[in-house]
A and B are shown apart, each in its own frame.
Chain A
Amino acid sequence: MESDIELMLRTKAGDDGAFSELMNRHYKGVLNYIYRFTNLRENSEDLAQEVFLRVYRSAGKYRPEAKFTTWLYKIATNVSLTYVKKKNTNISLDEMTENIGEYEESDVEISDDIIYRKEMRNVIFSAMETLPEREKIAIMLCKYEGLSYEETADVLECTVGAVKAYVHRGRMKLVDKLKPYLMEEGKYGM
């Protein structure tokens, strides 16, 4: 299987098929990252496409110096942050939490599980919103996108030690915020 960098170099040479293959690999991750950042399902798809458009537009200048994923998530982070900052002036948190999940659940009979999951999404999103930006990004990249500490450090342009500290501090704050929802686990060892 070709690496992301090879596909990107083929894109640079004018092969759009290679870029479609790259999107196939990453669009779900980027979409979910943006979704968790903005908590708006419908806008997430447009924003994810904006991320790939930026990547595609800059393919001509691409130099394989950094890992493709870190470059991609750096762009996704910038797009999300810009969107959230712009949107926060026009939309309240309540509106944001009301919007979630409507897209895929409108035609489905609402079960207790769906209600519980929807509530948890709101609760987790609200708790995440209280974290400092870097702690929130570090947790989202490490926990949800499966990026390593090194890759997250590249995205945040900081050291691996700093990323570990962000994740740890953010985690401790989330424990405090979400205490009522935490169930005691049987054995430690994480």
Chain B
Amino acid sequence: MECREIKETLIEYTLGDLSHVEKAKIESHLDGCTECRGFVSESKGLWSLLETWDEVEPSNDFISNFWDKASVEETKASPGVLNWIQNLKPNWRLAGAMASIFLVSIITFGAFSPDTRNSLFMSTDEQDELILIELDNAISRETADVLSIYGPWDGGSEINGNGGFN
């Protein structure tokens, strides 16, 4: 058995997971190999060394302190508006139902929205329309006439250095 194999099977050897034959092979190798023997000893020594890390003793009132803390928590958890809000949990069923209602409403209103294609266009509406157009034209002409004192508007006119038009 080689040194590399010893190191690889050390865990099984440590745990006692090896068969008698394999264990005997390892021990026979260890008897003749100083390096592996040192390796195994160090590993064993480590476990002893870790034991020097002492335990600490809990204080005598650990349990009574615990119950004090638990009762403080219970008081904090007593009913209150803020506490009620904090304890609110999402109700997925209600949220799902609300979403379904919303969706159905949109579809329903979309399907039954007023159809403008069937609305009537009365003759009085047509007359009103003509009056409005005429009025609009009259205002536009008058406005253009008033503004003509400043010069022609069409033909790419530009403002000259005196503030007039060319």
Interface residues, chain A, with chain B CB atoms under 8 Å away: 16, 20, 23-24, 27-28, 31-32, 35-36, 41, 44-45, 48-49, 52-53, 56-57, 103-104, 117, 120-121, 124-125, 139, 143-144, 164-165, 167-168, 171-172, 174-175, 178-179, 181-185, 188-190
Contact = CB atoms under 8 A, between A and B. Distances in A.
A182 B56 contact: no
Contacts of A190: 13-14, 40, 43-44, 47
A48 B58 contact: yes
B20 to A, nearest CB: 14
A179 B73 contact: no
Q: Is the interface of B mostly helix, strand, loop or mixed?
A: helix
Given A23-B62, A45-B59, 4 more contacts: A49-B65, A49-B69, A53-B70, A189-B44
Contacts of B62: 23, 27, 31, 45, 48-49
Contacts, number: 108
A104 B55 CA distance: 11
Contacts of B54: 117, 121
Contacts of B42: 175, 179, 182, 184
23 contacts: A27-B58, A27-B62, A31-B56, A31-B58, A41-B56, A48-B58, A48-B62, A49-B62, A117-B54, A120-B49, A121-B52, A143-B47, A143-B50, A171-B43, A171-B46, A175-B46, A178-B46, A178-B49, A181-B49, A185-B44, A188-B27, A188-B41, A190-B40
